[in-house]
Structure 1
Amino acid sequence: MKRFKVLLLSILLISSSLAKADEGMWLLPLLQKYNIATMQSMGLELSAEELYSINSTSLKDAIVIFGGGCTGEIISDKGLILTNHHCGYGAIQRHSSTEHDYLKDGFWAMSMDEEIATPGLSVTFLVRIEDVTDEITKPVKSKMTEEERSKVIEDAAKAIEEKATDGNHYRAMVRSYYGGNKYYLLVYERFTDVRMVGAPPSSIGKFGADTDNWMWPRHTGDFALFRVYADKDNKPADYSPDNVPYQPKHHLPVSLEGVEKGDFAMIMGYPGGTTRYMTSWEVDEAEKITNAQRSFIRGIRQEIILEDMLASDEIRIKYSSKYSGSTNYWKFSIGQNQALKRLKVKETKQKKQDEFTQWVNEKRKRSKEYGEALDLIRTAIEERHDYMYANMYISETLLRGTELVSLAGRANALYEYLKGDEDKGLENRIDRFRQSATAFYKDYNAPTDRKVAKAMFKLFAQQVKPEFHPSVFETIEKEYAGNFDKFIDHMFDNSIFADSTKLWKALENPTAETFENDPAFAATKSISEVTSKIWSELGEINKKFAKGHRLYVGGIMEMNEGQPIYPDANFTMRLTYGQVQDYYPRDAVHYNYITTLKGVMEKEDPDNWEFVVPEKLKELYMAEDYGPYAMDNGEMPVAFITNNDITGGNSGSPIINGKGHLIGCAFDGNWEAMSGDIIFEPDYQRCIGVDIRYVLFIIDKYAGAKHLVDEMTLVK
Structure 2
Amino acid sequence: MKKIFSILIFALLSCSLFADEGMWLPLLLEKYNIADMQKKGFKLTADDIYSINHASMKDAIVIFGGGCTGEMISNEGLLITNHHCGYGTIQRHSSVEHDYLTDGFWAMSRKEELASPGLTVTFLVSMEDVTDKVLEGVTSDMTDGERATKILANIAKIKEESVKDTHYQARIESFYNGNQYFLFKNEIFEDVRLVGAPPSAIGKFGGDTDNWMWPRHTGDFSLFRVYCGKDGKPAKYSDDNIPYTPKKFFPISLKGVQEGDFTMVFGYPGTTQEYLPAVAVEQVMYDSDPTRIAIRDKKLEVIKAGMEKSKLTRIQYSNKAASIANGWKKWQGEIKGLKRLDAVNVKRNFEEGFQKWANDKPEYKDLLNDYAKVYAEMKPLNMAYIYISEAGLGSYAVSFANQMRMLESCKDASSENLQSLKEMALSKSKGNYKDYDEQVEIRLFAEMTRIFVENMPENYWPSAYSNIDKYAKSASDKYMAFAEYCFSKSVFANQTKFDNFVNGLSSKSAKVLASDPIYCIAKEVMDKYKNEIRMALIDCDARINKLDRIYMKAQMEYEPQKRFFPDANFTLRVTYGQVSPYKPADGIDYLPYTTLDGIIEKDNPDIYDYKVPARLKELYEKKDYGRYADKDGKLHVAFTATNHTTGGNSGSPVINGNGELIGVNFDRNWEGTMSDIMYDPEMCRNISLDIRYALFLIDKFAGATHLIDEMEIRK
TM-score class, shorter-chain normalisation, is over 0.9
TM-score, with structure 2 as normaliser: 0.95
Shift, 1:247, TM fit: 0.9
2:142 pairs with one of 144, 152, 160: 144
Quote the Cα distance in structure 1 between the aligned partners of 2:706 and 2:341: 48
Question: Deviation of residue 271 (structure 1)?
Answer: 0.5
The residue aligned with 1:497 is: 492
Partner of 2:346: 348
Q: Is the 8 A contact 1:506 1:514 kept in 2?
A: no
Q: How does 1:568-587 map to 2 (within 5 A)?
A: 568-587=567-586
* Residue 462, structure 1, aligned to residue 454, structure 2: yes
- Structure 1 residues 478-487 or 68-77, which shifts more? 478-487
Determine the structure 1 residue equivalent to 2:482. 487
| Corresponding position of 1:273 | 271
- 1:89 equivalent to 2:74? Answer no
- Do the aligned residues in 2 keep the contact of 1:212 with 1:218 (CA within 8 Å)? yes
- Paired position in structure 1 for 2:3: none
Moved more, 504-513 or 23-32: 504-513
Determine helix, strand or coil for the equivalent of 2:233.
Answer: coil
The count of aligned residue pairs is 699
Map of 1:323 onto structure 2: 321
Alignment correspondent of 1:380 = 374
Contact 1:268 1:576 survives alignment (8 Å) = yes
- 2:603 is aligned with 1:604: yes
Give 2:163's match in structure 1, choosing from 140, 145, 165: 165
Q: Which amino acid in the other structure matches residue 455 of structure 1?
A: E
Residue 237 of structure 1 aligns to a residue whose secondary structure is coil
Q: Distance in 1 between matches of 2:91 and 2:520?
A: 32
Tell me the alpha carbon deviations over residues 143-197 of structure 1, each in whole angstroms, 9 at most, x when there is no partner. 2232222222112111111112322221112111101111111111111111111
Distance apart, 1:43 and its partner CA: 1.2
Query: Which is worse superposed, 344-353 or 509-518?
Result: 509-518
SS of the residue 1:546 aligns to: helix
Equivalent residue for 1:662? 661
d(CA) in 1 for partners of 2:142, 2:466: 44
- Indicate conservation of the 8 Å contact 2:486/2:517, yes or no: yes
**Contact 1:14 1:566 (8 Å CA) reproduced:** no
Aligned equivalents of 2:482 and 2:19: distance in 1? 58
C-alpha distance in structure 2 between counterparts of 1:190 and 1:618, whole Å: 41
> What's the counterpart of residue 407 of structure 1?
400
Secondary structure, counterpart of 1:496 in structure 2:
coil
Show structure 1 runs of 5+ residues with no match.
1-11
* 1:571 partner SS: coil
Instruction: Report the Cα distance in structure 1 between the residues aligned to 2:710 and 2:421, rounded to whole angstroms.
Output: 44
In structure 2, what is the equivalent of residue 3 of structure 1?
none
Q: Is residue 387–residue 452 contact of structure 2 (8 Å, CA) maintained in 1?
A: yes
1:349-387 deviation line (CA, Å, top 9, x unaligned): 1111112112212xx3xx211122212221111001111
Alpha-carbon offset, residue 56 of structure 1: 1.4
Give the direction of change, closer, same or farther, for the CA distance of 1:358–1:541 in structure 2 (3 Å limit): same
For the 8 Å contact 1:373–1:549, the answer to whether it is kept is no
1:684 aligns with 2:679: no
| Paired residues of 1:472 and 1:526 also in contact (CA < 8 A) | no
Paired residues of 1:13 and 1:557 also in contact (CA < 8 A): no
The Cα of 1:562 is off from its aligned counterpart by: 5.5
Counterpart in the other structure of 2:5:
none
Amino acid at match of 2:427: Q
Residue 229 (1) aligns with residue 227 (2):
yes
Matches within 5 A, 1:312-711: 312-361=310-359, 364=360, 367-399=361-393, 401-415=394-408, 417-420=409-412, 424-474=416-466, 476=468, 483-508=478-503, 509-511=505-507, 512-532=510-530, 533-561=532-560, 563-711=562-710
| Structure 2 residue aligned with 1:46 | 44
CA contact (8 A) 2:16 2:680 kept: no
Cα shift at 1:576:
0.4
Q: Equivalents in 1 of 2:709, 2:601: separation in Å?
A: 32
Query: Matched residues in 1 for 2:11 and 2:175: separation?
Result: 13
Q: Deviations over 1:101-138 (max 9, x none)?
A: 11111111111111111111111111111111111112
Rate the CA distance shift 1:475–1:160 in 2: closer, same or farther, 3 A: farther
Aligned AA for 1:403?
Answer: Y
Query: Residue 391 of structure 1 contacts residue 531 of structure 1 at CA under 8 Å; is this kept in 2?
Result: yes
Aligned residues of 1:28 and 1:573 also touching (Cα < 8 A): yes
Cα 1:99–1:133, aligned 2, differ >3 Å: closer, same or farther?
same
Give the secondary-structure state (helix, strand or coil) at the position aligned to 1:369.
coil
Whole-Å separation in 2 of the counterparts to 1:621 and 1:466: 60
Cα offset, 1:51, TM superposition: 0.4
Conserved 8 A contact 1:174-1:185: yes
SS at match of 1:435: helix
8 Å contact from structure 2 (residues 429, 499) kept in 1: no
Range that drifts further, 175-184 or 556-565:
556-565
Contact 1:27 1:575 in 2 (8 A): yes
Amino acid at match of 1:454: A
Report the Cα offset of residue 589 of structure 1. 2.2
Q: Kindly indicate whether the alpha-carbon contact (under 8 Å) linking 1:197 and 1:225 is maintained by their aligned counterparts in 2.
A: yes
- Residue 711 (structure 2) pairs with residue 712 (structure 1): yes
Cα RMSD of the aligned pairs, angstroms, is 1.9
What is the Cα deviation at residue 475 of structure 1? 5.1
Shift of the alpha carbon at 1:478? 7.8
- How far is the alpha carbon of 1:423 from its aligned partner? 5.5
Letter in 1 for 2:103: D
- Amino acid across the alignment from 1:386: P
Shift of 1:506: 2.2
1:150-189 matches, cutoff 5 A: 150-189=148-187
Of residues 107, 110, 121, the one that matches 2:119 is 121
Contact kept, 8 Å, 2:16 with 2:681, in 1: the verdict is no
The residue type paired with residue 219 of structure 1 is H
Q: Tell me the amino acid that sits aligned with residue 485 of structure 2.
A: H
User: What is the distance in 2 between the residues matched to 1:694 and 1:149?
Assistant: 52
Structure 2 residue matching 1:168: 3-state secondary structure: coil
Aligned equivalents of 2:450, 2:417: Cα separation in 1? 40
1:478–1:316 distance in 2 versus 1, CA, 3 Å: closer
TM-superposed CA distance for 1:14, in Å, is 12
Distance 1:558 1:433 in 2: 54
Q: Is the contact between residue 13 and residue 566 of structure 1 (CA under 8 Å) also seen in structure 2?
A: no
Shift, 1:403, TM fit: 0.8
Q: Distance in 2 between matches of 1:471 and 1:540?
A: 28
Residues 537 and 604 of structure 1, relative CA distance in 2, 3 Å threshold: same
Report the more deviating stretch, 91-100 or 509-518.
509-518
> How many angstroms apart in 1 are the aligned matches of 2:414 and 2:350?
59
Answer whether contact 1:261 1:582 (CA < 8 A) is retained.
yes
Deviation string 1:500-542 (CA, Å, 9 cap, x unpaired) is 2222222233333332232221111101111112111111122
Distance in structure 2 (CA, Å) of the matches to 1:662 and 1:140? 45
Whether the 8 Å CA contact 1:15–1:563 is kept in 2: the answer is: no
**AA of the residue aligned to 1:500:** Q
- 1 CA distance for matches of 2:526 and 2:538? 16
Paired residues for 1:268-307 under 5 Å: 268-307=266-305
Q: SS at the partner of 2:676? A: coil
Is residue 13–residue 565 contact of structure 1 (8 Å, CA) maintained in 2?
A: no
Q: How far did 1:472 drift? A: 3.5
- Distance across 2 between alignment mates of 1:270 and 1:418: 42
What's the counterpart of residue 243 of structure 2?
A: 245
d(CA) in 1 for partners of 2:395, 2:639: 39
Q: 1: CA distance between counterparts of 2:411 and 2:337?
A: 51
Deviation (angstroms), 1:469: 2.2
Distance 2:78 2:85 in 1: 15
